[in-house]
């Protein structure tokens, strides 16, 4: 494990109170863990600001499958960019609605463009790209959280 660096943070009482409330609500075990997560989130965000960076994330879509040809169009878009699509999970949510979670990986600009196109398709009721990262941002992460592998 790399060296542990300690530093203190000053902020006014009101901000600190709100921060502690947020920590409790989210269930963080400590201020340090909350700050580490915030820093990592910013580092991931920064990675995505480089359009040529290798990026990974998920696109979540909810759509009405009664809209004519919508399922086919969404599938077609993914086939056209198959090098960016790692996997797709489809859930028949209700009689009318489908949920799709697409794992995307590739150049940040290409992944973002595909996500934008899918989300903007008529009939898609809700869509969001969750941008995450593979490596650099998480270096030195303490192993106190449970991971699948
Ligand atoms: Ni369905």
Ligand 1 centroid to 94 CA: how many Å? Answer: 8
The mean predicted confidence, pLDDT, of the chain is: 90
**Is pLDDT of 145 > 90?**
no
- Residue 146 makes CB contacts below 8 A (sequence gap 6+) with none
Ligand 1 centroid to 98 CA: how many Å? Answer: 4
The 10 Å CB-count burial string (b at 16+, else e) for 46-77 is ebbeeeebebbbbbbbbbebeeeebbebbeee
| Band (135; pLDDT cuts 50, 70, 90) | low
pLDDT at residue number 49: 87
**Stretch 82-109: mean pLDDT, rounded?**
96
- 8 A C-beta contact, residue 56 and residue 132: yes
Q: What is the DSSP letter of 82?
A: G
Three-class secondary structure of residue 113 per DSSP: helix
């Amino acid at each position: 494990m790399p060296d542990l660096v300690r530093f203190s943070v000053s902020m006014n009482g009101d901000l600190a109170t709100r921060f502690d409330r947020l920590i409790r609500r989210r269930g963080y075990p400590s201020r340090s863990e909350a700050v580490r997560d915030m820093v990592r989130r910013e580092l991931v965000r920064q990675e995505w600001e480089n359009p040529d960076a290798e990026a990974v994330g998920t696109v979540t879509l909810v759509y009405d499958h009664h809209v004519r040809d919508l399922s086919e169009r969404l599938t077609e878009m993914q086939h056209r960019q198959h090098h960016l699509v790692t996997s797709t999970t489809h859930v028949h949510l209700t009689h009318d609605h489908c949920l799709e979670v697409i794992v995307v990986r590739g150049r940040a600009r290409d992944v973002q463009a595909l996500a934008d196109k899918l989300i903007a398709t008529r009939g898609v009721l809700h869509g969001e790209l969750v941008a995450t990262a593979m490596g650099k941002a998480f270096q030195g992460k303490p192993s106190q959280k449970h991971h699948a592998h």
